[in-house]
A and B are shown apart, each in its own frame.
Chain A
């Protein structure tokens, strides 16, 4: 069932990010104004160094802008404390990183379960959700393996399962298909599309992958830290 009630989940105002401002300033983002509504499936595209990852980091509170403001579900990120940001990310945002970023000492099941454990989800509920999620990403049977015993594709699927198991309102994915074969990548996109249409979950990807661009409903192109184009299909 599609969620028809659209709200602004992310609003950015003149976001600028300058690396090394005291020596040779590099403008990773330069005055980005953007509004993303709930239920969108947005792809941020652009060449390497255009600011895609920096943009995702800033709108999720993982990084701070040099200038400008970010509103996340009506709250100004820069006004939130470290703990508030942690809670917000835990409860509302699912991350899929390009480099998987799994916790190496935890098994597949524990990695997926971790965020729900932080959120205080009861054990039986956690177990049920993790089992279902691992099954849906094709990882049934490897629950007790450590990440080091998995292939790159399997690790990425664990990362996807971890991002989505707690049913966040926003999923941020940095090159989610970069390390997957085309079949797995296509399955993953299909799953995300389904979740987007069924639950109204907001997806924001940064990508080079034409398949991801094809799936997105909105395509934002960044170039030299600025919005080059913003198309809605």
Chain B
């Protein structure tokens, strides 16, 4: 009967019910779209960061990441890579060789980071050719071609076709120097990388640094970024017994990951604002409703309704409105999130975040966009209804029934 009274009370003051519901619907919608959009942005950023730079999982010789060295390298990487590829969830892998050197074009010289890559595998894993904005990637078989970053091109005042001299020290202690033809310029979206990086064919780099058959890093791309942890464990298992370190991107790029996490914490401010919107709307209308019905609560108490039942009656009305609002809010919020995930929002001049350039961002439809707003709306509505409900439950029947 209490439920029946609650349900019918909702339809007594339709305008007030609609106002209360609107506060909840708008609150849910805002919360849902806010989460969908920010999750989408984080996914976009993380995906770009991992696919463009570090991959989802990296395999190195033990201690390489802490103190990178030309000598901490991996042999038989082809066989290791193929073993990794057999793990469920692995999409691609690619080997990389890293070395530092001096790069010169004409009279201009600067420090360069030489990255030896297997063009075909790099293309599979990180879509390398898409980063080449001028010229072309080097030929897979060509040994003396180089692709340099856009920033490095400016520093060295280089052009497509310029000769690049790389000068360094090889793994055997000999002087490593050679002449390469610049065939392409990259824009990876990461300014720091583009100011220093010079890509060589892996075999060319191995020959230059006398590291034949060796690499420093094996980058793994997984098909679903949310399964990185599971795939990392699985790869660790298959490589047990080797002196290799298998690390997920969260550990490889700790500072980036921590910055992302810290940024996500900022979401709670947004959520707090939404809770305030819901709370103010609900508190106002519920309090007004309790005040208007003081006489009725007095009557219910007089005929034997217990205080806890009156308390339940007020909360019940709020829960029914909240439930309906959540259903409507979820439908609208999910539709907006879906449209934003499909069409995204384009930025005319793009923007840079963490050295990465973004032209278009997409929202995400996930379970968080439903669960968090549901709890946010329901809890804030219930929380602010506690005071009016307690007030109604503690009514002194005779005094309440004197109210006109």
Interface residue ranges, A against B (CB under 8 Å): 54, 57, 60, 62-64, 82-83, 86-87, 89-91, 95, 97, 101, 103-106, 110, 114-115, 117-119, 162
Contact = CB atoms under 8 A, between A and B. Distances in A.
Contact of B397 (A63, A114, A118): A63
Contacts, number: 71
Nearest to B307: A82
B12 interface: yes
Given A57-B398, A62-B397, A87 B8 contact: no
B261 interface: no
Interface string B40-66: 000000000000000000000000000
B396 to A, nearest CB: 7
A95 B302 contact: yes
B296 interface: yes
Interface of B: 1, 4-5, 8-9, 12, 295-296, 299-309, 396-399, 401
Contacts of A87: 304, 306
Given A97-B302, A114-B1, A118-B305, 11 more contacts: A62-B398, A63-B398, A86-B301, A86-B305, A89-B303, A90-B305, A97-B401, A106-B1, A106-B8, A118-B304, A118-B309
A86 B399 CA distance: 16
Nearest to A146: B8
Nearest to B304: A90
A86 B1 CA distance: 17
A105 B12 contact: yes
B1 A104 contact: no
Nearest to A56: B398
Nearest to A106: B5
Contacts of A105: 5, 8-9, 12
A110 B309 CA distance: 17
Contacts of A114: 1, 303
A104 B304 contact: no
A91 B306 contact: no
B304 A117 contact: no
Contact of B306 (A83, A101, A117): A83
